[in-house]
Structure 1
Amino acid sequence: MHLQVTSLTFDQATAILHWTYPPPYDFYNMEVSDEAYAELLDGSYQALVDQEQLVGFFCTGQSAQVPPGRPLGLYADDYLDIGLGRHPELTGQGTGFTFCSFVLDTAKSQTSLPLRLTVATFNERAIHLYEQLGFRRQSTFSTAHATFLVMIQSAAEQT
């Protein structure tokens, strides 16, 4: 894997919006809308390419937060929130550690803040991976659609 980070283009946003994940991960399927395009192209999302092929994306800041967690005080400004997505055909193949490590290293190079992420609690394989990468469970909250886990990366993993 030879990952590179690029600015997200309109064509890449279109591809991401049409990714289809199998159940139960279909929770992550996106709706194609003007609002979805606007968010993907607002500058907070970056594309991850491998040999010119779009393999994933990541976002930082408010785009990486689950909005119902904000009024609960779960997103204080002392962390950089990060979100990521991977092409559905590439998930579950044992390359997630390398992929996520690259994303985290890239995000860390852009900030001095520790990292925080939010993941749906049913996504046990992602939670396990995040724990391997030094994240620990901080809090949970529920919406009408899912229960979410907020995870923070330990200080030892930040150096």
Structure 2
Amino acid sequence: MYITRMNEAYAREIMQWKYEAPYEIYNLEGDEEELEELLHYFCVFKENELIGFFCTGGFAQIHSGHEVGVYPDMDKLVDIGLGIKPEWTGQGFGREFLSFILQHLQKQQRPKAFRLTVAGFNKRAIKLYKHLGFQAVTLFKANDMPFLIMIKLVGTDSE
């Protein structure tokens, strides 16, 4: 696998991805605002196929979470958001995909911890995150949907 910066062509490809129920909340509308945000992300390729993407920092946070204070500043913590191409989901590939991203970010940013936000219904992702050493720390609602904040201290579990 390898990582590149997002460009407009990759962003437009991602905006065409369609997830089946109940994951359709991850489908993008394809508007210019989404395009502009995606241009701050990174792409993950496997054998020259765009298989996923990730972002860090504020782009990885749910905006309304700030209103309820679920994103306290923590020294050397990296927020992560990610997505896998629909055809690659549910295939047991998530561990390799996320481990690769975590290792990359560990080398680049040397964080003390990683934090991610996941929709409460997404049991498949929550199971993966727990398997990789993330622990649930906070639950909050945004637009009547529960979200879970999970943190992984660097050096814990098995990446």
| Interval of TM-score (by shorter of Structure 1 and Structure 2) | over 0.9
Aligned length: 155
Match of 1:63 in 2: 59
Aligned mates of 2:110, 2:123 — CA distance in 1: 28
Percent identical residues:
42
Q: How does 1:65-84 map to 2 (within 5 A)?
A: 65-78=61-74, 79-84=77-82
Query: Given the alignment of the two structures, is residue 148 of structure 1 paired with residue 147 of structure 2, yes or no?
Result: yes
Matching of residues 10-159 of structure 1 within 5 Å: 10-41=8-39, 43=40, 45-78=41-74, 79-113=77-111, 114-157=113-156
CA distance in 2, matches of 1:14, 1:127: 28
Verify the 8 A CA contact 2:3 2:44 in the aligned structure 1.
yes
Q: Give the letter aligned to residue 88 of structure 1.
A: P
TM-score by length of 1: 0.92
Cα distance in 1 for residues equivalent to 2:89 and 2:66: 29
SS in 2 for 1:109: helix
Q: CA deviation at 1:131?
A: 0.4
Q: Distance in 1 between matches of 2:22 and 2:94?
A: 18
For structure 1, the residue ranges without an aligned partner over 5 or more in a row are none
Contact 1:136 1:154 in 2 (8 A): no
For residues 112-142 of structure 1, give each alpha carbon's deviation from its aligned partner in whole angstroms, at most 9, with x where no partner exists: 3210000001000100000011100000111
Partner-residue secondary structure (3-state), 2:108: coil
Distance 1:101 1:6 in 2: 17
In structure 2, how many angstroms separate the alpha carbons of the residues matched to 1:103 and 1:156?
A: 15
Amino acid at match of 1:54: L
Deviation, structure 1 residue 57: 0.3
One-letter identity of the residue aligned with 1:63: F
Letter in 2 for 1:77: D
Shift of 1:31: 1.0
Q: Deviations over 1:7-45 (max 9, x none)?
A: 11111100111100000000110111110011011x3x1
Q: What is the deviation of 1:145?
A: 4.7
Which stretches of structure 1, 4 residues or longer, exceed 6 Å deviation after superposition? none
State the distance in 1 between where 2:32 and 2:134 align. 34
Match of 2:7 among 6, 9, 13: 9
Q: CA deviation at 1:76?
A: 2.1
Where in structure 2 are there 5+ consecutive unaligned residues?
Answer: none
Across the aligned residues of Structure 1 and Structure 2, the Cα RMSD in angstroms comes to 1.5
